[in-house]
Structure 1
Amino acid sequence: MRLLQLVVFNLFALLWGTSGSLAQRIRPRQIKNLVTFGDSFTSVDWSSNGGTPWPVYAAGYTGVSLFPYAKAGGTCSNNLTYRPFPPLFESQLPLYFQEKKDGKLKLPQQETFYFLWIGTNDVGANALLTGSEASLADVTSCMVNWVKVLYESGARNFIFQNMVPLETIPLYAPDSYPNRYWTAERNTTEWSVFMRELVLSGNELTKLKLQALAPSLRDAKIALFDSHSLFTDMYNHPSGYFNGTAPLNVTGMVDSCVYELNAPDQPPSCTLVNGPDRDSYLWYDELHPSEQAGRIVAREIAQVVQGRENRWTTWLR
């Protein structure tokens, strides 16, 4: 009986140490700092939703200090998918490391969560969607390498957020139109189908690569936040998330501008939703989630930061 009890105890300990569903990965009140990287979905110095960016909400919900490095327009690396905006590896990470070296950042690593939400620009127009020398394998390896680089510098707690279902966003929807982000002629159905495949494949690749990397990172805690499933649920069940005074809307947007085809210099026809009606929308404009969608993201991320169970989060280590 004593031997059987010992075997059961050791088996339970093994499961506790390897299963995200059994283990409490972050202790309540453990995290004091949130360091964010990414693109316009996470940027705080330029709000992509016409209001308060989600990291500001998350910091307010949890009481943690926010250290934002995400920049609008950014990709993982300009050496892979070039855009004239600050990328993760050539701009955001170097700035973080420089400020750390200069003593501007004194972050106890066990009290700090590092967050990355990137990929929308990497797979989008003027990148993989419309042709690039880089591959989806290259881009996803770059994203996962963010964990390794920060880990080697001392970071231990990570939240990696995957890509949303971009084929449902107005820029890439089958019924899209010439807008501020793309005015040239295109096959909108083809774009939407291709984008769906890029997102699904990219998310699966990053998951597999993170799972392969995780066992080698001793003492690390890595959470994979499934924003794809969260946004899919918001799209399919808006009444559970949106509470504006207008009818719920997951295909339109708060701020829309329709351009003449191949005539970007001509004034567009624009519509702007104001007041509490805005909280009825999933999208802010043709490319970005609304402020209310951001509040939902912040609420869910806050649960992870606070060490609470979260339905969209899988602990890989």
Structure 2
Amino acid sequence: MLSSPFILLLFCYRTAASSLAPGQIKNLVTFGDSYTDVVAMADGGTMWPVYAAGYANVSLFPFAKAGATCSNNITNRPFPSVFESQLPAYFDELANRTLPDLIQHETLYTLWIGTNDVGTNGLLTGHGAPGVSLVDTVACAVDWVKVMYASGARNFIFQNMIPLQDTVLYSTDSYLNHYWTEVRNTTDWNVVMSEITKSGNKLQELMLKALVPSLKDAHVGLFDSYSLFEDMFLHPAEYLNGTAPLNVTGCVHSCVYQLNESTADTGVCTIANGTDRDSFLWYDELHPSEQAERNVAREIANIMEGKENRWTTWLS
């Protein structure tokens, strides 16, 4: 009978050995929200999937859409959700042959979702469907892996939620802005968002670990976006390289709103230009800056190139 230390060593070996091989990945297919949408460009510039595909010299097939949640049946927003819009679009393109016949061994699928599910006009402000909770939004995201696996996909990167409490929108020093124009308790929002992101990410990890034994021949990597952004927040000099003083509490495009008698005005905006932009962690009150996206892109590119990656845990 194998001893416990040996079993543990074997498990660690198999987990490490399941990472992608150099030169294996030729295609990147992305799903998610504005953090990944290459058309809306919520970072004010080029989005991480474009950079990552360029760094790793792979073909990009983007399906993420700004404003998306995992499912509008859970958190209903007037945007193209993963299950009601993005997945149907992907399968339609496959059926219509507008999407190339991807070789699954050479294709990596990514999902980065959750920011809208748990935030304003989502779970945080009580805008989920009756009776839904964080468990439902996380389970929905894990179901994406099941659906894609059933369609033939075998290589997955699951990107967890960033520390949203560190964004301008959910910070204790937040102000009225485009994303929320009503008075709120910023300290309460900050505390609750910290709890939501940490709890949601742990639920994701546990649910994925429970799922992977049923996914024969699949490679599932959990990309720790939370820890990467936390590290950028705590050690900006290692990640930001702009010409202005490094800034992780403000943003490139800041618009402060003032309350009128009935509603907010259009806001007073301050905008950083040129290379000063690369000194900021955040582009606006909710979205990462282009420089932050470059950092994400480099890490995802490393994964696609089969390199060791400190932010990724291979679950299978």
TM-score (norm 2): 0.94
CA contact (8 A) 2:21 2:305 kept: yes
The DSSP-based 3-state class of the residue aligned with 2:124 is helix
**In 1, Cα distance between the equivalents of 2:277 and 2:204?**
33
**In 2, Cα distance between the equivalents of 1:244 and 1:226?**
25
Q: Which runs of 4+ in 1 moved over 6 A?
A: 10-13
Amino acid at match of 1:315: W
Deviations 1:205-229 (A, max 9, x none): 0000000000110000000000100
Amino acid at match of 2:307: R
What is the count of residue pairs matched by the alignment? 309
Deviations 1:231-288 (A, max 9, x none): 0000000000001000000000000000112665523110010010100000000010
Q: How does 1:131-210 map to 2 (within 5 A)?
A: 131=126, 132=128, 133=130, 134-210=132-208
Q: Structure 1 residue aligned with 2:246, among 245, 248, 254?
A: 248
Q: How does 1:207-286 map to 2 (within 5 A)?
A: 207-261=205-259, 264=263, 266-286=265-285
- Alignment correspondent of 1:109: 104
- Give 1:19 shift: 2.3
Tell me the C-alpha RMSD between the 2 structures: 1.8
The DSSP-based 3-state class of the residue aligned with 1:116 is strand
Amino acid at match of 1:256: S
The DSSP-based 3-state class of the residue aligned with 1:19 is helix
- Give 1:18 shift: 2.8
Q: How does 1:12-31 map to 2 (within 5 A)?
A: 14-15=10-11, 18-20=14-16, 23-31=17-25
Q: Structure 1 residue aligned with 2:115, among 112, 120, 125?
A: 120
TM-score (norm 1): 0.94
The DSSP-based 3-state class of the residue aligned with 1:287 is coil
The DSSP-based 3-state class of the residue aligned with 2:291 is helix
CA contact (8 A) 2:18 2:314 kept: no
Which 5+ residue runs of structure 2 have no aligned equivalent? none
CA contact (8 A) 1:282 1:290 kept: yes
Q: Give the 3 Å change call, closer, same or farther, for CA 172–14 of structure 1 in structure 2.
A: same
The DSSP-based 3-state class of the residue aligned with 1:160 is strand
Q: Structure 2 residue aligned with 1:33, among 17, 27, 31?
A: 27
Amino acid at match of 1:307: G
The DSSP-based 3-state class of the residue aligned with 1:249 is coil
**Identity within the alignment, %:** 63
Amino acid at match of 1:162: N
CA contact (8 A) 2:18 2:219 kept: no
Which 5+ residue runs of structure 1 have no aligned equivalent? 1-5
Q: Structure 2 residue aligned with 1:58, among 46, 49, 52?
A: 52
CA contact (8 A) 1:24 1:307 kept: no
